[in-house]
Structure 1
Amino acid sequence: MSVAKKLASQTAIYGVSSIVGRVLTYLLVPVYTARFEAAEYGIVTALYACVSFLNVLFTYGLETTFFRFANRPGTDRQLLYNRVLSLLLVSSVLFSAVLAWQAGTLLRLLSLPSGQERYAVWLALILGLDAVAAIPFARLRLENKARKFATIRMANIVLNVALNLFFIIVCPDIMAGEYLSVLQPVIASIYDPSIGVGYVFLSNLAASALTLLLLAREFAGFRFRLDFAALQPLLVYAYPIMLMGLAGMVNETLDRILLPAWLPKGFYPGKSSETVAGIYGACYKLSIFMSLVIQAFRYSAEPFFFAQSTEKNSPATFALVLKWFTLCCAFIFVFISINIEDFAQAFLRRAEYREGVAVVPVLLMANLFLGVYWNLSVWFKLTDKTYYGTYIGGAGAVLTVALNLLLIPVLGYMGCALATLACYFMMAAICWWLGERHFPVPYPVGRLLAWLLVASGVVALGWFITPADYWVRHAWHLGLCAVFVALIVVVEKPRRALAR
């Protein structure tokens, strides 16, 4: 099996779990948008945006560091695993305790109503459990145990979704006498209506606890080894990655934090800032289909890139990987953007949420460039110059903050989406430019940019030429998608390219 096919195989396994898992999770969006008002969903959006930042702090770059040091000649992988996991265990307990202690402060910083400190406490526990699980998951990826990795991830997601459905739909319906009224005494003993959206966090907490149980075998051989002298070179390698991750979270989530705070009063008549945040957060979820492809790719690509770094033809392999990754993502961009009407109707159950769907194509393209950046970033990870990632991420963070502050008062949530696109495009461009000087790879940059322009043109045709008849419109949209795929097949000749 060629290296490209091996990577594709691993990505497919991770991808199936990610796609199926994310689809299951995404099925909760119609539930949330049907059961919660936009203002309530805005609370979930704000807290999970904060969680994205805290996830980076809780793991502080140790996953990538573990891959890098585990692939060095002569490394005792078990000893390295013991040391890294020991450090994460100690830090996770400390970080979770501090966050739970400062729950009220977190709510005030996010401008959320007081009296919901328990949400922040539950989030602190979720973050701690997920951080502890990070290195066992990394070990599974390192050992190419993609199926076990995917199975445990799926179990986490299935339990999370099932508990959400139980507490958000089944319990309220039974208590309201919709069906199975005979079970009301039992439901009343386990269900508290005052928790409301809090069941989103409680379900997540239960799923995170299950994950640790399923990773029991990975913990079986673990021995606590906290050696700060031996860990010092790992931390030196890791801290730029952590800073890069924090900058990445600024780029990915700050818009949902700044939007309600920076939006001028009355910009959207009759809507509160929390409602606007809920609308944007729900529409942002429609870009998840691009995000899950990137996530699946990263799970398999990171250990793959490190393993391939010593091969003579690795630059050509990296270029081939980027080419087909970009073309696949370009198709996803075209398909979802053109058929956004159907996706919005299916997932955004209340009409108020569908007002913001115009941001979805912009966010899809933004996430595509983020995926390109993760491909290009291989050069500074392989050359141990991770501080360049910090500089690039920092530049993106500065641009994100500046553009959000500039565009939100003028364009509302469309300003947030455009800021995200500009940030990820700039990061990919800078990363490519620096990589050409430090670790040259023959990426077909001009050709790929031309394909993205073609994809954007196809989407524009789909948006601006809209037949009134439902079936004619859908045939037109599917025809445009088919033409785009046919162009790729004819021009790129994928079979011949992959055979090389």
Structure 2
Amino acid sequence: MLRRLFKQSSIYAVASVTSKLTGFILLAYYGDPDILPKADFGYLGALDAAKMFVLLVAGVGLPLGILRFASSPQLTEAERAAVPATALGVALVAGGLTMAAGWGLAPLASEALFGTAARADAIRWLAVFVGFKTVSDVSYTVLRQREKAGAFVLIGVVESLLLVAAVVFFLIRGEGLTGVMKGYAVSAATIAFVVTPMLWLRVERRVDASLVGRMLAFGLPLIASGFASRFLNIGDRFVLLAMKGPEAAAVYEWAARFGGVVNTFLVQSFVLAFTVLGMKALDESGSPDLHRQSFRHFAALAGWVTLGLGLFVADVSRVLTDDPDFIGTEAVVLLIAGGFAFYGLYYVVVNVLYVAGRTRAVAVSVGGAALLNLLLNLLLIPSMGIAGAAVATLAAYATLAIVTARMGQASTPVAYPWMALVWVSALVGGLFLFAQPSADWAFEPRFGLRVVLAALYVPGLFVVGVYRRDDLARAVSLVRRREQAGSTPEADPPPGPPDAT
């Protein structure tokens, strides 16, 4: 099961990497004030946050509902077969209502977010994006549930490329913030019109009305927890915009785009695989061994990526922009990335609660962490600015992971390796601090030192005891077995015909 998790996470990471790389292409445009004013980039951060909240409500908890019910042993085979079509029917209704409401209420929403109705058109196109994305998310989730990672990645890569092309097209036309939202809407609508008929042709075309109530009962409590979870992720944009103005929000948004590499590259690709496999592991065997092992491996890998971001983000920013505020965000990036690392660990520990059906407990834990995040933001932003927002997010995510793990022990006791997490955190912080005197050096010696520090992280894991020699021996043995199997023609069965779902 751990091998399947690694394989599927690696495949999903292709889509995540493509999404993040295309996002960096857009940063080259967002960082140019002649194309998108700095204040508008700050407003874009708030709109991106708003779209995640609205998408959550419009989705009515369907993604996790599909994952839970499509493989639930508590349902009959006929009921499980009807899950995709039933979810699609709910999504079409919810997406259509969201689009209509957003289009009509755009002036009021613009007033609430920006203090003026002048950006109502941007919000209208945002509503169009959410409506179509709600529908296409059903197809994406069915692919995850059926472990069709390759098809999922292919569609995700196409959508990312479409989004970049559309956004750049409208930006070059001089449409600014509204053009960005138009680009979002065009990409989402195109994908929805392609994947929805494909899904409909490959599933049992039967909507089971009795499933609707059960799926909503499972998913609706997750809206509250998801709302709080998204506030942990992106709610600080609203607080910064209100307390420090759009230009400070723009600088934080720049740092968040880089810190979000951990979220996009590691957390999301990992979660796409682990949510499914973690549930199946506990349903089939009742053993939490996959959860325990995943906790340690994810902590070690996320720590390395977090350290790399902190060490090299300033030089990458120099390639994309001349703005010194954007370039000088490496410490903020490290804090944001660290917060997302804890976010990934949260998904390991919360899986136990999903399997137990304790969605209300999930809502309580995430809601408490969101409240803590809000309070810390209000306390720290006035004195620390964007660094205060980053500290608040890191502290809230760490608290969420710890509290959720303790809550899950009542359902399934898991011996998570917490000391490994402590040593990873200390290693990341120590190596990052050791690099700080090089900030004013010339590029060559600065870059050389930071490459060495990033490389030292790996042996450092063995020095502090996160890994031992027997772990290395098992990894080498596994690689050798896979190489030997790959050299034998009969080792793997021939691939079957492609299946889009």
What is the TM-score of this pair, normalised by structure 1? Answer: 0.89
Aligned to 1:106: 109
> 2:232, 2:373 within 8 Å by CA — same for their partners in 1?
yes
Q: 1:185-221: CA deviations, max 9, x gaps?
A: xxxxxx4x3x322221111111112212331311225
Matches within 5 A, 1:256-335: 256-263=237-244, 273-292=245-264, 293-312=266-285, 314-335=287-308
Q: Which amino acid aligns with 2:125?
A: W
Match of residue 86 from structure 2: 83
Give 1:381 deviation, angstroms: 0.4
Work out whether 1:167 is the aligned partner of 2:147.
no
Residue type of the alignment partner of 1:335: G
Task: Single out whichever of 369-378 and 479-488 deviates more from structure 2.
Answer: 479-488
Give the SS at the match of 1:71: coil
CA drift of 1:349 comes to 4.2
In structure 2, the partner of 1:140 is 143
1:108-123 equivalence runs, <5 A: 108-123=111-126
Partner of 2:177: 197
CA deviations 1:439-476 (Å, max 9, x no partner) are: 11121111222222122111111124557243222211
- One-letter code aligned to 2:385: G
Q: CA deviation at 1:29?
A: 0.7
Counterpart for residue 223 of structure 2: 242
Q: Identical aligned pairs, as a percentage?
A: 23
8 Å contact kept, 2:311–2:330: no
Contact 1:71–1:306 (CA under 8 A) maintained in structure 2 = no
**Corresponding residue for 2:15?**
17
Counterpart for residue 185 of structure 1: none
What do the CA deviations read for 1:256-314 (whole angstroms, capped 9, x no partner)? 11112123xxxxxxxxx111111111121111210111011111111111221234373
SS of the equivalent of 1:482 reads helix
Tell me, in whole angstroms, the C-alpha distance in 1 between the residues paired with 2:167 and 2:119. Answer: 19
Partners of 1:465 and 1:407 lie apart in 2 by 28
Q: Are positions 1:441 and 2:414 aligned together?
A: yes
Count of residue pairs the alignment pairs up: 466
Counterpart of 2:314? 341
CA distance in 2, matches of 1:225, 1:125: 27
Deviation at 1:8, TM superposition (A): 0.7
**Counterpart of 1:56?**
56
Which residue identity is paired with 1:256? R
Q: CA deviation at 1:114?
A: 2.2
Q: Is the 8 A contact 2:310 2:330 kept in 1?
A: no
Alignment match, 1:366: 339
Tell me if 1:212 matches 2:192.
yes
Contact 1:30–1:349 at 8 Å: present in 2 too?
no
2:481: which partner in 1? none
1:254 matched to 2:226? The reply is: no
With over 3 angstroms needed to count, the CA separation of the structure-2 counterparts of 1:497 and 1:399, relative to structure 1, is farther
Query: How many angstroms apart in 2 are the aligned matches of 1:75 and 1:401?
Result: 45
Q: Are 1:319 and 1:441, in contact at CA under 8 Å, matched by a contact in 2?
A: yes
Partner Cα distance (1:46, 1:391) in 2: 25
Which of 220, 232, 240 does residue 213 from structure 2 map onto?
Answer: 232
Cα displacement (A) at 1:99: 1.5
Given that 1:279 and 1:355 are in contact with CA atoms closer than 8 Å, whether structure 2 keeps it comes out as no
Aligned counterparts of 2:276 and 2:203: Cα–Cα separation in 1: 22
- Contact 1:241/1:389, CA 8 A, preserved across alignment: yes
Return the offset for 1:165: 2.8
In structure 1, what is the equivalent of residue 483 of structure 2? none
Q: Deviations over 1:309-344 (max 9, x none)?
A: 234373112111111111110100111112222122
Distance (whole Å) between structure 1 residues aligned to residue 213 and residue 396 of structure 2: 32
Q: RMSD value over aligned CA atoms?
A: 2.0
Name which structure has the greater RCO, CA cutoff 8 Å, separation 6+: 1
Aligned counterparts of 1:496 and 1:318: Cα–Cα separation in 2: 21
Q: Contact 2:108 / 2:117 at 8 angstroms: preserved in 1?
A: no
- List gaps (5 residues or longer) in structure 2: 479-501
